[in-house]
Each structure stands twice: as C-alpha cells, then as structure tokens.
Amino acid sequence: MDTTRNPLPSLFLSHGSPMTALEPREAGAFMQRLGPGLSAHFGRPQAVLIASAHSLMREPALLAAERHAAVYDFGGFDPKLRTLRYDAPGAPALASRVAALLQSAGLPTHWLDQGGLDHGIWTALRYMFPAADIPVLPLAWPPDWSPTQLFALGLALAPLAGQGVLVIGSGSITHNLGRVFAGGRQVSIDLPATPESTAFRDWFASRAAAGDWPALLDYRRLAPHAALMHPTDEHLLPFFVAAGAGGKGGDAAGVRIHESLTFGDLGMDAYAFGASAGMLAEAVA
C-alpha cells in the first residue's frame, strides 16, 4: 500500500452511448487525456473501483473475479462494437478491503466470484488505460437507494483515495433517451444544446462547486427540469457514489472537469471530487 502519493480524486464520468467507443468525439478525447493526467500527477492507479449505471443489484455487491472481459450489453449498434475487447485483471484482494470498509459502515455487502465489464465501464477505461493492465473491481449497487444512501456508500470508500485506488462512478449527467430519439435514431449528434439540458447541467455544476450537498441530494425536487432530464435516475446516481468517495466537508466539493454534449440533450460532463480535484482539473484542461 502506497501512502506517500497524493490522494486520488474520485470521478464521475458520463459514458454516453456504446458508440462512444468507436466515435470518441470531445468526451473520448478528454478521457484519453484523463488517464495520463491522473498517472502523471497522482501516480499510476493501483486499481480501479467502478460503480456503473449498468451493473445493478438489490444490495451492494463486489464482482471479484480474477479476470474480466467486455460485456456487450446493448443491441442495435454498429457490429464493430462487439469486436472491441477489454480483458482487464480483476481485483479480488481489493474486494476484501472494500468489503471491510462497507461492513464497517454498516452497509450490506456481497462478494461474487464473477466478472464482466459492462459498456459503462469498458468504454471509459479503454480510453483512459488502453493497455487493460490495471485491476478493475466493479461495484454493483441498488438503483432504488436514494442519493443520500449512495453518498454514504461512497463515503465508506473514501479511504481508498490515499491507497492508490481510483473510484469512479459511470453514468450520464442527463439521460432521457425517449426524448432524444422520439423521432427515430436518425437525429443529428451535433444538434445545439437544448435550454433544459443546459439549465440542469449548469445547476449541477454550480451546486457541486459550492459543495451544496443538501441541494444536490434533493436534486429531484430542486434542480431545473430534473424529471425531464432523468425520467429514471439510475444514470445519475453513480454521481453520488463518486461524490461521497471524495470525503467529508469541503473536500467533497465537486469540480466539473469536462463538459460536452451529444444530440443536443445528452450531457457528457465529468466531475472530480476530493482535495485533489482542482489539481486534476488543471492537469486535463
């Protein structure tokens, strides 16, 4: 365990559609800078713990396989996606440490000797760490938990920042596919930003920068167009896991380290949390 390095910030990444893996655009280019930026300023992560919007269970569960492979959990996209691989090592040793942290916080914890990386995981990691040589531990989580519960889950993971473990929440800052594709899948990816998406995303960025967690945890009631941007909120909830992992107090303030848009409505924003979030923002600017 390396305790001399700067503590890693935790991250929330918007992974977009599976096509992000073939069409990187602004968000993919950002993630290509993000991996080297993390390694240069904080040391190469010893492992990645990631909570994705596509790995869900009734109670928190660690997928502690010895090795992982990409899971093609989608349909109707370019067949080339199914040729992409991400055969990363697993992290069973880390799973035992994480299980102890969650149990100490009084949280239910399950351990599965199973693997597989959904597209919310491997799409981002292929850009960040293309060699697929950093151990990965997926954390499946309950989509019916509140933002407050998931923030507490993240907070239990906060000690990992100083141990070389990169904690990531992978989802989407906005996610209403029915609204985007109401007229079919031929909609242009380059549409200008809708005012509703802009208002929601900017509200999140300003509240996160201020560390206004009472407002953020109650985003469903307070954020503009919240239900429109997230008819169901499983793609936003990993934000709160990542935010909690940034630590208590002022250290939990969030920095928007990337903002871009697809289809006029789907935000690809990314955030960093913790005492080192500002340093990372400068590194990847």
> Rounded to whole angstroms, how far apart are CA atoms 276 and 254?
10
Report how far apart, in Å, the C-alpha atoms of 25 and of each of 137, 149, 175, 262 are: 27, 34, 18, 9
223: CB partners within 8 A, 6+ apart: 200, 203, 204, 207, 215, 229
| Gyration radius of the chain over CA positions | 17
Q: What is the mean pLDDT of residues 214-229?
A: 97
Predicted confidence at residue 251, as pLDDT, reads 57
Of the pLDDT bands very low, low, confident and very high (cuts 50, 70, 90), residue 267 is very high
pTM: 0.96
Residue 4: per-residue pLDDT: 47
Tokens 């093609």 belong to which residue?
72
Average pLDDT over residues 48-54: 98
Between strands 47-52 and 136-140, the pairing is parallel
The whole-number average pLDDT for the span 54-75 is 96
Answer yes or no: is pLDDT of 66 > 80. yes
Min mean pLDDT across 2-6, 66-70, 209-213, 260-264 is at 2-6
Which pLDDT tens digit goes with each residue over 157-201? 999 999 999 999 999 999 998 898 887 777 889 999 999 999 999
The CA-atom distances, in angstroms, between 111 and each of 93, 194, 264 are 12, 42, 40
Q: What domains are there in the chain, each with its CATH number?
A: 10-284 (3.40.830.10)
Structure tokens at 116: 């597989």
How many whole angstroms from its chain centre is CA 214? 21
pLDDT number for residue 72: 96
CA distance 165 to 93: 12
Q: CB-based contacts of 226: which residues, under 8 Å, 6+ apart? A: 200, 219, 220
Tokens 């655009």 belong to residue: 25
Q: Element (H or E) spanning 194, and its range?
A: none
Whether the Cβ atoms of residue 161 and residue 274 lie closer than 8 Å to each other:
yes
Please determine, for residue 1, whether its predicted confidence score (pLDDT) is greater than 70.
no
